[in-house]
């Protein structure tokens, strides 16, 4: 069989621990035999980040800005234990945080739905994607403990002098607490744009929710920015694509989700997204079956698994013990990136390959061959438990038969 060629490279970001091991298996067994893989390789493994003073992460982001599509392996976000383990020069920032900040992107978390791994909510038939606004609100809050009676005020002092505003937050009769939050129009606009674009891209309805009835200025601003952008730039495009934009209160959205069948995107404010994405991923079965796409309003895409480097399994692997780590989310990061590369380059063969690799992966699980995390939750009778490598080889067998 002739290998599929690529005109434009993907930005490939390697990572750490168990996922770094899976990364190589996936490339060697599922990609390279079929695709003349063309990537710009950046090693974001912690060792290399430390050696380069984290410049490698910045270089990778610049490459994403140049080529538009990236695939990333899970990476260690250092803490003090890692500083000792890797003799680090300093506690480097999370690469994902750096990438997100530089690309101004929104993260979409997408569950992989297969028969036999049933969502806890029985009517969920299709994936529910969560888009989380990743700036501000309680994550950049300012808090104060109030020890004794007194006034707390919110004061705005404009740089140009005129238009000062001041309001009383509360007159304290005794002790208490206070918190302030902020957000920025530009950040909300970027978020809204990424959501509308992603909905068009994936041909799914977009829901957006806040609590604007209670928060008449703050949350209402989110609602207005989405609404205005929709009317101005997306109403026609959505109509043509046969999808809808739907705004409702967050509590109404939560109630509706339980009755829905899935197949849509729920865009959330930062805190709602934090909470909802964990609820949705656990309800869909396993963190190992959750992929994630970072989409920037400038049209850059970065695909990855939602889980981490699976440290516990890696330490077993280092001791020479057998592991059964699920590579689905990492495989889907690759297929997502290859399909997007194919779309942008009008490379139909590459898109078809991505479709077939996903199909092969899903049908491997549906035929009863799976890793340990899924064996414990599947509704299939007599599943076959495979180790990390054999699971990938089982997918390869299916893939070869699909490719003829």
Residues at the interface with ligand NAP (CB under 6 A) = 74-77, 96, 287-288, 304, 307-312, 325-326, 373
Quickly count: other Cβ atoms within 10 Å of residue 58's Cβ: 15
- Least distance (Å) between residue 278 CB and Mg ion: 4
Tell me whether residue 32 or residue 140 sits nearer to Mg ion (CB atom): 140
d(CA 350, CA 352): 5
Q: Nearer Cβ to Mg ion, position 71 or 257?
A: 257
Pick what 274 binds: Mg ion, ligand NAP, none; C-beta below 5 to 8 Å, kind-dependent: Mg ion
Nearest distance from C-beta of residue 275 to Mg ion, angstroms = 6
State the binding string over 251-280 for Mg ion (x if CB under 5 A, else -): -----------------------x---x--
388 binds, among Mg ion, ligand NAP, none (CB under 5 to 8 A by kind): none
Q: Does 308 bind Mg ion (CB under 5 A)?
A: no
- In the DSSP assignment, the letter for residue 114 is B
**Nearer residue to ligand NAP within complex by CB, 220 or 316:** 316
Of 120 and 318, the one with the shorter C-beta distance to Mg ion is 120
Residue 65 beta carbon to ligand NAP: minimum distance, rounded to whole angstroms: 20
Computed from CA positions of residues 48, 51, 53, 59, in that sequence, does the dihedral angle turn out positive or negative? negative
User: End-to-end CA distance of the chain, in Å?
Assistant: 9
Nearer to Mg ion, 96 or 371 (CB): 96
User: 3-state secondary structure string, 225-268?
Assistant: HHHHHHHHHHHHHHHHHCCCEEEEEHHHHHHHHHHCCCCEEEEE
Q: Which residue has the tokens 């890793």?
A: 371
Burial grade of 241 (CB within 10 A; 0-12, 13-18, 19 or more): middle
Residue 98 partner contact from Mg ion, ligand NAP, none using kind-dependent CB cut-offs of 5 to 8 Å: none
Q: Buried (b) or exposed (e) across 362-385, using 16+ Cβ within 10 A?
A: bbbbeeebbbbbbbeebebeebee
Cβ proximity to ligand NAP: between 189 and 372 the closer is 372
Q: Which partner from the list Mg ion, ligand NAP, none does 33 bind, CB cut-off 5 to 8 Å by kind?
A: none
Residue 274 or 345 having the CB closest to Mg ion: 274
278 contact, one of ligand NAP, Mg ion, none, CB 5-8 Å limit per kind: Mg ion
> Which of Mg ion, ligand NAP, none has residue 307 at its interface (CB below 5 to 8 Å by kind)?
ligand NAP
Question: If 0-12 CB within 10 Å is exposed, 13-18 middle and 19+ buried, where does residue 12 land?
Answer: buried
Length of the chain measured in residues: 404
- Least Å distance, CB 220 to ligand NAP, is 33
User: Cβ of residue 197: shortest distance to ligand NAP, in angstroms?
Assistant: 22
Taking each continuous run of H as one helix and of E as one strand, the counts in the chain are 15, 16
Q: Which residues bind Mg ion (CB under 5 A)?
A: 274, 278
């Amino acid at each position: 069989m002739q290998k599929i060629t690529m005109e434009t490279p993907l930005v490939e970001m390697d990572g750490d621990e168990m996922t770094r091991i899976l990364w190589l298996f996936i490339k060697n067994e599922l990609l390279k035999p079929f695709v003349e893989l063309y990537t710009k390789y950046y090693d974001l493994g912690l060792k290399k980040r430390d050696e380069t003073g984290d410049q490698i992460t910045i270089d990778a982001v610049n490459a994403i800005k140049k080529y538009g599509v990236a695939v990333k392996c899970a990476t260690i976000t250092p803490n003090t234990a890692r500083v000792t383990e890797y003799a680090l020069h300093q506690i480097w920032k999370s690469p994902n945080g750096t990438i997100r900040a530089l690309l101004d992107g929104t993260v979409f978390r997408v569950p992989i739905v297969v028969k036999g791994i049933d969502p806890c909510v029985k009517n969920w038939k299709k994936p529910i994607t969560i888009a989380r606004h990743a700036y501000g609100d309680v994550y950049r809050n300012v808090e104060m403990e109030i020890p004794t009676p007194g006034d707390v005020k919110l004061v705005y002092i404009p740089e140009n002098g005129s238009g000062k505003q001041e309001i009383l937050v509360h007159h304290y009769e005794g002790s208490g607490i206070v918190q302030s939050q902020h957000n920025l129009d530009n950040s909300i606009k970027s978020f809204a744009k990424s959501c509308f674009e992603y909905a068009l891209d994936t041909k799914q309805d977009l829901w957006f929710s806040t609590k604007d009835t209670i928060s008449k200025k703050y949350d209402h601003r989110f609602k207005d920015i989405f609404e205005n952008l929709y009317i101005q730039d997306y109403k026609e495009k959505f109509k043509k694509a046969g999808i809808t934009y739907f705004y409702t209160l967050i509590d109404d959205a939560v109630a509706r989700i339980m009755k829905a069948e899935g197949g849509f995107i729920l865009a959330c404010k930062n805190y709602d997204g934090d909470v909802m994405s964990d609820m949705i991923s656990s309800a869909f079965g396993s963190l190992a079956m959750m992929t994630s796409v970072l989409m920037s309003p400038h049209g850059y895409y970065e695909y990855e698994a939602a889980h981490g480097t699976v440290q516990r399994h890696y330490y077993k692997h280092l001791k020479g013990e057998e592991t059964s780590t699920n590579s689905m989310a990492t495989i889907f990061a690759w297929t997502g990136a290859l399909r997007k590369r194919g779309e942008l380059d009008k490379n139909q063969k590459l898109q078809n390959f991505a479709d077939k690799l996903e199909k092969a992966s899903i049908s491997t699980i549906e035929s009863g061959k799976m890793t340990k995390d899924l064996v414990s939750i599947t509704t299939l009778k007599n599943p076959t438990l495979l180790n990390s490598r054999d699971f990938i080889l089982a997918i390869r067998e299916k893939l070869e038969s699909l490719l003829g």
